[in-house]
Structure 1
Amino acid sequence: MLSLADAARLVVARGALMQALPAGGAMVAVEASEDEVRPLLVEGVSIAAVNGPTAVVVSGIEAEVASIQGHFEGVGRRATRLWVSHAFHSPLMDPMLEGFRAVVADLSFGEPVIPIVSTLTGLPVGEGEMADPDYWVRHVSEPVRFADAVKALEGKGVTTYVELGPDAVLTAMGQRCVEGAVFVPVLRRGRPEGVEAVSALSAVAVRGGAVDWAAFYAGTGARRVDLPTYAFQRQRYWLDALEYWADAWAGADTGGVTSVGLTRTAHPLLGAALASPDGDGVVLTGRLSLGSQPWLADHVVGGSVLFPGTGMVELAIAAGDRVGCEYLEELTLQAPLVIPERGGVAVQVVVGSAAEDGTRPVQMYARPDGEEQPWTCHATGLLSADAQSPSFDLVEWPPVGAVRVGAEGLYEGLGLAGLGYGPVFQGVQAVWRRGEEVFAEVALPEGVSVDGFGVHPALLDACLHAMALGDGDGGGAAGSARLPFVWSGVSFHAVGAARVRLRLAVAGESVALEVADDQGRPVAKVDSLVLREVSADQMAAAASAFHESLFEVEWARLPEVLPGLVPGDVSVVRVVSGVDAGAVRLAVHGVLAAVQSVVGRLVVVTRGAVALPGEGVGDLAGSAVWGLVRSAQSEDPGRFVLVDVGVDVDVDEDQGVDAAVGLALASGESQVVVRGGSVFGARLVRAGVGRGGVAGVGAGSVFSSDGVVLVSGASGALGGLVARHLVSVYGVRSLLLVSRRGGDAPGMGELAA
């Protein structure tokens, strides 16, 4: 390879010689394979790059390149002019080749110290190959075979690729070349370099790459922290669910919403309604969660699950329909509504009294589970009864003069802009363009229920995705995403649609939308929708509200107590430490037998199974026992006591264990850690952002896309939700689904698909 000085000479000479060439020529990126492009090449035009299976760059004389561009546009393929100063990698580079050869011949080359795959040949570099000046001259005039190089690496078993550069250009191209691999850009344009570099290293680490974190953080004062806790909510979830379904099966409402003065609704997202006592307004209430509405997990923006703006439109129109005002004159979205990974959010849609002109104000509020959480207004608008009969149809399909646009790579591009759409929201099937108009076919996946919705939010949201192919904007600037902001003139004309046709008309910063069913009959109309860019920082701020509902266990030092004698009616079980599967199994089964058979109080003593700050957990068998006994404590409070002693105590030595048990019993606590003569009790405390890793909840994946993830209980509703979430959010491609009912359980075939 080259020294730094010689490498600089090569780069400077190449750039100077190229820029000294006469201006002229053109480069166009076309959506086609190399085999499709090659027959169209003429003198003065060549292939400059092969970046993917259907991603080729043509370069050369401007008029000839423009002719090739027109050919592919005429058959509905994407063809984009690259704004460059010269036609690189084309015959127009020939005048500079000899001068460049002379520069390269004067440089000193050594053999590479790491293996290299060449983008000139698409093959591993042979001995002495890169020391030949002809190699570098050919690199100027011949195609860049990026796709072949990536495929060669795939053949070598490479599954993780790190891009060293100022942006994620190669990452986007590489993802189209191979399947199942992860591409990690070290930097992204417009984002903080430090944050991006750490994110890249983290992505490599969770894929099994060797990252020396101690060296990376040396001198920074960084330290290890506990993993995030779960969202502890004071809810009787299972009892409430059983009560609800028991009522539904019985056809009664005993103990349900009507028993507390509410009215049931038939809407899937709004469970009850309450009329205002001092006017003719109404309040509709509901609860959103990934457990109740698993399809919401497929709408991820900036790393957070976001309730779509189309959902807010759906709720506003549903609320207005109850008071005869189903026309949404305007709805302004004020704040993004993040759906937490655990727990949920309560929502209220408030429709005010009618004004003299018949309009009614509408607001949508939400708050995380828990009465202590504040309400946030997420949308405000105006409803009326002025909806007009639809004056459009899309019976003629596809429209005359519309040119088919390739939709391949649409969702990959939106993903790069921070819009992570899962299967339910990936509805765009086909797209056409006619001037400023975009036409598309959009459908929900099989099995997604539309019952009770005006227009399913995922279907309406997917209708907006076609804009990315109409205006060339993949969703927003780097580090941001374009989301609905102000809706005007929204009306629904039919319900139950799962497959639609649509027309989008872009005018400046807004877009008009007409939606019809698959026969061309009107379904919905939006007079105007203004979109606004939402940054990653704004999304993080919205998500931080939910972190406040997270709790963690903290070990608090208790007041000094004098150890008492262990009463005769108290049984003590000492757990033998161990770290292998056999030791864990033996310990858990032994303690379970004691829990089931011992009459009276039972004290379970472990050694190093719980860690205080600065300690590490060294006893996996004891940790498993703590989980078991904690469950028993919740069923029979006051009967079981957990005691963990330090590693300096021998559990087989009576005096040390008796002293620890005596301290624990004297403290009156059910879970204690004894270190020396000090006793620590478990306390549930609110976890703050940035503490215990809470700020990073949901920000990164610990799952490898090429590894196997085991999901037990997969035939149940929760197991199915977990499996789907692993695939759509974490990119897992290999799942082992196990269930007591086996593969013949209802729904298992669809889940596997």
Structure 2
Amino acid sequence: AALPTYAFQRERFWHAPAKRDGDVRSVGLSGAEHPWLGAVTETADADGLLLTGRLAPAEHPWLTDHAVHGTVLVPGTGLLELALSAAEHVGAPGVAGLTLLEPLVLTDDDPVRLQLSVGAPDGAGRRPITIHSRPENAPAGTAWRQHASGELSAAGDAAPTGDAAVTEGGAADLTRWPVPGAERLPLDSFYEDFAARGLEYGPAFQGLTELWRAGGTAYGLVKLPEGLAPDRFGLHPALLDAALHALVAVQDDAGDGHVLLPFEWTDVELHATGGSELRVRVAAVPGEEAVTLDVADPAGQPVARGTLRLRAARPEQIRAAGGTGQHLYQVDFRAAPRTGSAPAGGPVWVLGGDGALATALGAHHAADVDALPAGPAEDDEAAAPGRIVVDLTAEPGAAPADAERLTADALGTLRRLLDAPHLAAAELVWLTSGAVHADARDVPDATRAPVWGLLRTARTEHADRLLRLIDLDPARPGDTALLGRALDTAGEPELALRAEEIRAPRLAPAAPADAAGRALDPDGTVLVTGGTGELGRELARHLVRRHGVRHLVLTSRQGPDAPGADELVRALTGDGAASVRIAACDVAEREQTGRLLASVDPAHPWTGVFHLAAVLDDGLVVSQDAARLAAVWAPKAAGALHLDELSRELGLDLAAFVLFSSAAGVLGGAGQSTYAAANAFVDALAARRRGLGLPGASLSWGLWQQAGVGLTANLGDAELARLRRQGVGALTPAQGLAALDAALGHDRPHLVPVKLELEALQRAQDTGSDVPPLLRGLVRPRRRRAGEADGAPSGLRGRLLAAGPQNRLATVTTLVRTEAAGVFGMPGPETIGADQVFKEVGLDSLMAVELRRRLSAETGVALPATVAFDYPTPAAIAELVLSKLELTPEAAAPADGRRRAARTADGSDEPVAVVAMACKLPGGIASPEGFWDLLASGGDAIGGFPERWRTLDVYDPDPEAEGKSYGCEGGFLADEHVERFDAAFFGISPREAVSMDPQQRLVLEASWEALERAGIAADTVAGSRTGVYLGTMNSDRGDLRDHDPTA
């Protein structure tokens, strides 16, 4: 059960009962009385029948025991069971024929919707039937997949039943058991042999308990395993599937890794239902891959009879049965919708470039941010800009290796633009050329692609700013007329110009691959960077189990010393790998990577590269810099570039070159601007390889559910729930690996495997909330209601004007509480009080960004970046919003007439009294008393490097050693004073505590201690006339002396 994630949440956490199906009669349907089918209705115009249902592995977990070559399939007996249920509803005696066209694949806990369509009877009285499915979470307009088609028997086709079925209908006599003259066959390793051939059946599908053979006929005894009951099935699919296992005694193996699967049922009759133990007779049809099947109860009375034709299937056919997977998307650039024009709100300036673009657009030109005017002024050239176009279209001779430097420059420019108060109202447009894959012929410029990832994240953090991206057509760089139209296009923050068209990106379900890709060579070696991490381990085991990889090299910076490395080798060897090597290699270092690639066993040359290595350094874009970018860039982007260049230099004949990227580069992700930039580079690099005729695929992964060591493992249940409400779920390992299989060999160089909660997105669309333009192609457009304003902000203003001054604060407070509850993962607005401090319910900086974004979208008010900290309660933010809406003077006032008094300093120069102190200093000093003792005793606070430092990384006795210190002593805080931070006490999430500067943690602790020593309760200081002066200092005394010799 999910438990409270922070103190004072005050929610009930009793176990909720399982969800029950609603009364289908209330919506005009009838109950289907079947475990997989929920409703049935007659069609009014065609004398037909429609049955609908839902199949969820979570509700029928035994289905996951039926796997073929690692893919969970609904057994062919299950599709037959559905057809028999349809036959019962229309009064048909059985199934005349049912051809299984495509396996029904189940992926982990993803439900699928079922639809059985039964047509009108033909002249002979037979009715056509089809069986379709579609993922429950599929985007609007997703096609249904057909799995079976056939005919239901006519009344005249009915065969004799009971004893007459044997004497007149030709059914086998199974009243005597064992059947006289039959030879019993051993079953000791029966299901182990099945698994070796790719039929991986779990306990629910291991129901064959006896097997006999007499000539070309096999006899078996099958039972439902413990824990399974006949339920409302006509014939339980697991029980009938076990009956088919007896055919191995009379049917030759398909060989060559093929498996025989049910293909066509004919003349199937069901005489009795509800069995849990059956006798079965399977007889081979001479000269055909077909068998006749007779099933009887323990007394030998007939239960079912029919004929089954089999078909051999290759492993790759089964793996492809799930199509592209329901969690695999592609980015398409489509003609931008005509949403109106939005001219610049002031003077237009072009920043950067040589000024030619500014001249062509009739705009002003500035070479640097500092040259932009501050305004206000009547002179257009001196007035503050209304639109700033950052020109990144020209960088002569730039190569992929220059991408990090160019991205760092762009980051610096972005920060300066965001930090400048006089530019706060300006629209910021970033102009690139050929940076995105907007046309099938495009090969993206990897040097500028990172800017798109950077800006996408900045936009999520600064919802009050208009941040846009426009990509020019490299073949038409001088088309300023088309650019002018694009600049004035409203409602689309991202555009690409190709030929004479303005295009906007939309996420769409990935189209099926045109052909199967080149398979990994089982005699070759596969490299997995980041292979000892949680995701790397999952991938390595999947490659061995599913793709037959036998030789692996897994790398990480720790290599064999990585936790669990030995266990991983043993597990992979047990799965079937012939050789597994775990190597220490930092792919960010080109020389190390080159040595690794050159060290492969010539008998097993490289056949595949999977690049997973990554490092996160989360932080808002305004806190990022070139150094933090470099730390994130090195393993992900630089590592990918080294693998690309070296593999080409060595002439490696690779079947796969797969780069694990992040959806942050596509969707943006608050706090991950540098990571998004690095991953956007990786996406472009894969497309560049494809343009060279080489294998290359970049997969921009969404969240994975990880157990504790992955990049997203620190997200708690509340955070995951908040993301789901925003439309983004977390892939289970099974879902992720299924998406990987679908992506391998795809003709697209860039795909996005992500679990989107499309119902949540549709709800947001239907209620007028802001759905990102990139995702709008996945939801139905919303129709405006008559009399409704065109947007949420205007609608709010209308409601407030109608509510009257006395009710406005309460209305806005409720809105803030609703949005805050959504951000904090709470059930509803009633769970957070109007005066509750956000910090008490777990506020961190990323939540603050999300709350600000949602409130800005709902109210139309530009709120400061620190609004959740400066106005720490719903009521306080509501007052701020009302004051900014400027409805009427009284509307901005609190309901009870209270107003904040404006106070000024009284100018007195009263002496300052120090009433309390707190400190942590080198030498183990944790209090002022300890400091005085040190001074009085003449003690020494200088000591050796603390244990938390890796001495060899910083110390070298050679004074000339670059990046090292030849001194090994200093003034250091004790380990216990730095590492023992109580994050929960200060209302800080563990995730944010890890990323905080240690100075920030020390300031919080010292501030609280000082208040305690003064006898002042912290909650009494809030709102008081208390000044706070805070500063930090590093080794900058020398700099101060340069400016002031007396310092």
Shorter-chain TM-score tier: 0.3 to 0.5
Greater share of residues in strand = 1
- Greater RCO (CA < 8 Å, at least 6 residues apart): 1
Greater Cα radius of gyration, structure 1 or 2:
2
